[in-house]
Amino acid sequence: MTPAGPPPFRNESYTDFSQPVAREAMRAALAGVAGRLGQTYRPWIGGRFRETDGTFDSFNPSRPAQLIGRHGKGSAADAHGAVEAAYAAYPAWSRTPSEERVRLLLRCVEILKRRKLEFNAWLVLESGKSWMEAEADTSEAIDFCGYYARLMLRHASPEPLLQMPGERGHLRYLPLGVGIIIPPWNFPLAILAGMTAAALVAGNTVVIKPSSDTPTIAAMFVEVLAEAGFPGGAYQFLPGPGAAVGDTLVTHPRTRFISFTGSKAVGLRINQLAAQPAPGQIWIKRVIAEMGGKNAIIVDAGADLDAAASGILASAFGYQGQKCSACSRAIADERVYDALVERLAAGAGRLTVGPADDPSYDMGPVINAQAKRTILGYIEQGRKEARLIAGGAAVPGLDGHFIQPTIIADAGPGAIIFREEIFGPVLAVTRARDFDHALALANDTEYGLTGAVYASDPALLRRAEDEFFAGNLYLNRKCTGAMTGCHPFGGFNMSGTDSKAGGPDYLLQYMQAKSIAERLPV
């Protein structure tokens, strides 16, 4: 960082795996990570590694017998100790100049860039991401760290206030305190890095509780924090079960905020627990939550059907539909409905499914055996409610958690597959009478995260801007792939608190404003 500050933010460029050199480098990274599988990782509390009474394992969803990492299982007592350690470190870290915190976060950017293919490999093996999905995840982690570092410099020197005659006034942004970081398994690096980076650069201390499906990736990111030079007490790392560890972290009286991404059920439970003050608690806990969606793509009669089908398929089946932003409902005007369904069925039939470490496949596994059972149950329900036109089963002959890309047409608005978040490679297609009806169907959900409209009439696109109730609306493009700084991300209603990750206001979630006015001498 120069005295004038870092250069302007730019999104990280994606590696082009069509190039032989890039392909060989990625294969080498996978081989390198494969040689490190099965290691044991311990919680990090109070600046040192801690032993635990038990352990748990994470596995490769493409090859469920392959052990990725063994992790110390935290307890309620460990959770209590982690919050106390973060609280003890808070005074020194919160007083660290913002420029120093920014410098450390920019150092994380350098490390993540240097280790990019290595992190890609961990994402492929532990979370079942394809090479390109892993590349997008790691790139987004880099973007979040770089963007929030620059954003902190802006908040460190806020816009001047109007000055009362005879007074000198200014506004300062202060950190909140101890925060709990609870990232999901589907973006185990990007969302973890984003929430952690925002909290730390704002001056808070944190306790990171990773998903039990992807704790090794989280452990690798903790290594990045250490290498970058963040003080050991500023961050704690505590894997463990939600009932014992998560509830203790959320309800602890010294916890000031919880940053969570995951299911609606867990998010609502966190919000409920956080709303109940504990003995000795002197603040209202802040919850920053992103909780999923039942996202729709509308296709109008005048739309480019080839473009619409391509966008729907990419949105529905990228990372096996395991994105909160994924398209799980396609709603088409009845005048083009049959033609769109034909294109969707043909496109899904061309998608290939297999181990995520093999780049010849379009789709990899779902995250675990329970997810596979749940998704297959929804598919069976969908067969009863509507018309199966593609997929509909597990992939035969493979040991991993593989499911065919599945499309169920003629889904009515009362169907379970139209209403409930499935979080898998399942798309419901619904017929609309016209654009008005399509908008009503799209909004007929308790969620409001992403949505898209394919239409050629500018007036319809402007109507969607006003009437399509989603935190992230995309016009004539897919509804996944939000880019930091370009598409601030977060949703309405049961999709969360609309905190807009990767946007100009996001750091304000982790700070509180203090107004200071001084009477000047006469």
Dump the DSSP string for 271-293: HHHHTSPPTT--SPPEEEEE---
Q: 237 and 220: one domain?
A: yes
Question: 98 near 70, Cβ under 8 Å?
Answer: no
**pLDDT at residue 318 in the model:** 98
For residues 257 and 326, state if they share a domain: no
* 491 part of a folded domain: no
Domain span including residue 418 = 295-484
Asked whether 216 and 296 are in contact (CB, 8 A), the reply is: no
Do 140 and 195 fall into the same domain?
yes
Alpha helices by DSSP H, listed for 449-502, are: 458-467
Average pLDDT over the chain, rounded to an integer: 97
Q: What is the pTM of this model?
A: 0.97
Indicate left, alpha or beta for 346 from its phi (over 0: left) and psi (-120 to 50: alpha).
alpha
Same domain, 354 and 283: no
- From CA 357, how far away is CA 127, in angstroms rounded? 11
Contact 280, 252 (CB under 8 A): no
- 89 and 183 part of one domain: yes
Contact between 471 and 445 under an 8 Å Cβ cutoff? The reply is no
Report pLDDT for 266: 96
Do 324 and 283 fall within a single domain? no
Active site residues: 290, 324
Do 218 and 346 reside in the same domain of the chain?
no
Is residue 181 in some structural domain?
A: yes
- Per-residue model confidence (pLDDT) at position 1: 52
Does 272 lie in the same domain as 204?
yes
Shared-domain flag, residues 124 and 30: yes
Domain count within the chain:
2
Residue 410 counted as domain residue: yes
**In terms of domains, do 463 and 445 share one?**
yes
Same domain, 226 and 313: no
Same-domain check for residues 233 and 328: no
Judge whether 18 lies within some domain: no
Give domain status of residue 519, yes or no: no
Taking alpha carbons only, the member of 106, 87, 503, 105 closest to residue 257 is: 87
* pLDDT (0 to 100) of residue 316: 98
CA distances from 50 to 72, 173, 183 (A): 8, 34, 21
- Report the CATH number at residue 409: 3.40.309.10
Confidence at residue 5, expressed as pLDDT on a 0 to 100 scale: 84
Task: State the Cα–Cα distance between residues 452 and 128, nearest whole angstrom.
Answer: 26
Q: What is the CATH number for 109?
A: 3.40.605.10
In a domain, 231, yes or no: yes
Going by their DSSP bridges, the two strands 44-45 and 48-49 should be labelled as antiparallel
Residue 58 lies in a domain: yes
Low-confidence ranges of the chain (pLDDT < 50): none
Position 123 in a domain: yes
Look at residue 242 in the predicted model and tell me its pLDDT: 84
Instruction: Tell me the C-alpha distance between 220 and 215, whole Å.
Output: 9
